[in-house]
A and B are shown apart, each in its own frame.
Chain A
């Protein structure tokens, strides 16, 4: 996820990373990574990234960071539960993958190049 500050709200962190912050730590599906101290409403990205092993890459000239994905399981997927991402359509309307629950979905990645 792209960041302009390293102190963010819990909900921003959760939406951006797909990890839910619970009393027992950061959780995705049935996988939880313990966090100390237990997460509150504000997230210190540096600290949480260090404990979760998430890479944080900086571009100082723009005051930007990118927080990368986990690699704890050694695979792109940490769980077989599909992450509930949101992406826009051509007109910018957000679409939630979870809105298709109850149907089989073929997610198809393509590119115009």
Chain B
């Protein structure tokens, strides 16, 4: 759906750049990118450079950049373009583990502001600087995520963790992921990335398991997991609301 939107806006001087944040690099993202056959740049971000540079804390999030290279909207939730409801990928008679049913139940409670976000995007594409959704530099900085010394240190731990993962030292990577989680508690991406590198369950949904093995819960190396954390914070707080 993003591809169709990009093709519609492209003649108006607009480009979409997708960036896959994954410590597994190109191999982690390949199947999704090849299936999408994008005509726009589709990049791989093994160390989550975008988190460090722009304050990305969850996915999907977007940053809007104008023709002069100025950010006009900092990182915010970027819902898929609104469209007809998609057919459920999972048939009711499919025997899914209980955990996935619960994950999908919580995910369905996450508010979706696609209409407001995409009305704003269309307005910016058509009107540029004159759009009320294009923010002035001071507002862009002010609206970007808070960052203090301890959050900055958490980013360094996270980058080190992804590099250690790349080098095959999962135990050392886990230590630094844990430290990143402690120092940057509001980053869902930092947690989801680390959880996705644990064994989970076999099959194509393995990386979405995001929690302990029910047969061996004691081996789970993290304090939280997707289901526990979203229930703790409430699915209504999973994304920041869209602020015009």
Q: Which residues of A contact B (CB under 8 A)?
A: 1-2, 18, 53-57, 59, 61-62, 64-71, 73-85, 87-92, 95, 97-98, 100-113
Contact = CB atoms under 8 A, between A and B. Distances in A.
Contacts of B17: 95, 97, 100, 105-108
A95 B43 contact: yes
Given A55-B149, A56-B156, A105-B65, A77 B164 contact: no
Q: Which of B2, B64, B69, B159 has the most CB of A within 10 A?
A: B69
A2 B141 CA distance: 26
Contact of B14 (A2, A56, A104): A104
Interface in B127-170: 128, 137-138, 140-142, 144-149, 151-157, 159-160, 163-164, 167, 169
A56 B176 CA distance: 13
B35 to A, nearest CB: 11
Contacts of A67: 156
B67 A104 contact: yes
A76 B66 contact: no
Given A75-B142, A80-B70, A89-B42, A108 B159 contact: no
Q: Which of B128, B152, B195 has the most CB of A within 10 A?
A: B152
A1 B46 CA distance: 12
A100 to B, nearest CB: 5
B148 A74 contact: yes
Interface string B193-222: 101100000000001101000000000000
B63 interface: yes
Q: Which of A69, A105, A107 has the most CB of B within 10 A?
A: A107
Contacts of A65: 160
B230 interface: no
Nearest to B66: A104
Contact of B176 (A1, A59, A110): A59
B43 A89 contact: yes
A109 B59 contact: yes
B70 A111 contact: no
Q: Which of A57, A105, A106 has the most CB of B within 10 A?
A: A106
Given A64-B163, A100-B15, A101-B68, A106 B33 contact: no
Contacts of B45: 87, 109
B113 interface: no
A109 to B, nearest CB: 5
A81 B12 CA distance: 22
A110 B19 contact: yes
